[in-house]
A and B are shown apart, each in its own frame.
Chain A
Amino acid sequence: MKIYIYGIIDCSDQMAESIYGLGGTGVYNIPYCDIGAIVSEVNQRVQDVTEDAVLEHEAVVERLVDKYTVLPVRFLTIVDGRIDVLSLMRRYYRDFKDNLERLRNKREFGIKVIWPADKIKENITNAFEKTKQSMSASDDSPKSRFIKEKYEKYKIDKEFDEKASRFINAMDLFLSKFAAEKKLEKLKTDNLLMDAVYLVEKAKESGFREAFEHIKSAHPGLKYLLSGPWPPYNFVILPKKPGLLENTGQAIASDEVIQSQSFVGADNL
């Protein structure tokens, strides 16, 4: 039997309730000092990536979040045996502890906003039409037309981008008041104005939701999506570390723990 890992928790006691995981076997805690890894046993290393498997995995994590602080582990993380789990916790003990402390009592919310990119670009274009005369080009050669068109497009795109920044900053201003941490991505697609995740303390959740409602009513022309509360998937921070595989006595194996995805583009705001 192999071991499937769901998450790292801030508790070394055995679980009080019975939860079942992928493959229908019981979920239990492998403790290490004052933390633990929540696992279940699976009999194949190859698991199908099905909707049901994904939902089962998430359901286990959600049950844990009710009782513990959880660092969710990626779907389909399977190791050979107990020793690997312990080795993992030993190597990353400090990192896991720090994350568990930081993320205690906090949950993640996702906010996505869609705006009508085409219409906005059209409005910008119309606004520029009026000042078009000021652009030079007495002759109408293909060269000057080419660069004129390029330039116009450049101006439109630039204004479009700046407008997006202004919108996002305005929204973020309200939401940040209730958030401990956040990650924002601007214009993932032209229409997806904002794709953000916020880490919110349980005590501030209602304030956060209210801020969101306020934003919606301030800009009713846009489309909004609020998701959550989630376990803190986007806020787990782990360094890359080369490691030792204890049971094989092998020198420096290439175990790497990759930092959770940080959104690109946040620096542009």
Chain B
Amino acid sequence: MITNGIVETDSAQEFIEEIEKSRDALPTKIDANPQNVEKGLARLVLTLIELIRKLLEKQAMRRVEAGSLSEEEIERVGETLMKLENKMKELKQIFGLKDEELNLNLGPLGDLM
């Protein structure tokens, strides 16, 4: 073995797959290339909107779980979340952005979402 550091595993292939998956590079910089500036800005804005949408969704789920919403409220929340989700899908399509792209790498803090 080349180094003293040794690796012991029966499942090298599986670990390789997961390690590479966890490394899939997120763009860490906003592309300042003028042709891509618009898309870069859209990505940033939509990422933040997506963050808020997910937080709202999670909050709604917690309230459903806690039973603190009436039937009617649950329905209304459902409608709102649905509309939000559909709107996001639309915007993603318009700007040609994929789900994976709507994230930010915060360096030592990991990924935003």
Please tell me which one of the listed residues B3, B82, B108 contacts residue A143 in the complex, with CB atoms under 8 A apart: B82
B65 touching A189 by the CB < 8 A rule? Answer: no
Check A192 against B82 for contact (C-beta < 8 Å).
no
Contact residues in B for A262 (Cβ distance below 8 Å): 108
Give the most central of B10, B18, B19, B75: most A CB within 10 Å. Answer: B18
Per the 8 Å Cβ criterion, residues 101-120 of A in contact with B are 112, 114
Cα(A195)–Cα(B21), bound, Å: 13
A59 touches B8 (CB 8 A): no
In the bound complex, how far is the Cα of B9 from the Cα of A226, in angstroms?
Answer: 7
Say if the beta carbon of A207 comes within 8 Å of chain B: no
Mostly, the A contact residues are mixed
Of the candidate stretches B30-38, B44-52, B56-64, the one touching chain A is: B56-64
* Bound Cα distance from A66 to B5, whole angstroms: 12
Shortest Cβ gap from A222 to chain B (Å): 9
Contact residues of B: prevailing secondary structure:
helix
Judged by a CB distance under 8 angstroms, whether A249 is at the interface is: no
Q: How large is the interface on A (under 10, 10 to 19, 20 to 34, 35 or more residues)?
A: 35 or more
How far, in angstroms, from A20 to B74 measured CA to CA in the complex?
69
Verify if B101 is at the interface (C-beta below 8 Å from A): no
A142-B82, A143-B75 are known contacts; what are 16 more A-B pairs with Cβ within 8 Å? A65-B4, A66-B4, A112-B15, A112-B18, A114-B11, A143-B78, A147-B60, A147-B64, A147-B82, A151-B65, A154-B61, A192-B22, A223-B11, A223-B15, A225-B15, A265-B110
The 7 closest A-B pairs by CB, nearest first: A147-B78, A264-B110, A225-B9, A154-B61, A223-B11, A192-B18, A143-B78
A-B CB contact pairs (8 Å), 6 listed: A114-B11, A136-B71, A143-B79, A223-B14, A226-B7, A227-B8
Interface residues of B (CB under 8 A from A): 2-12, 14-15, 18-19, 21-22, 57-58, 60-61, 64-65, 71, 74-75, 77-79, 81-82, 108-110
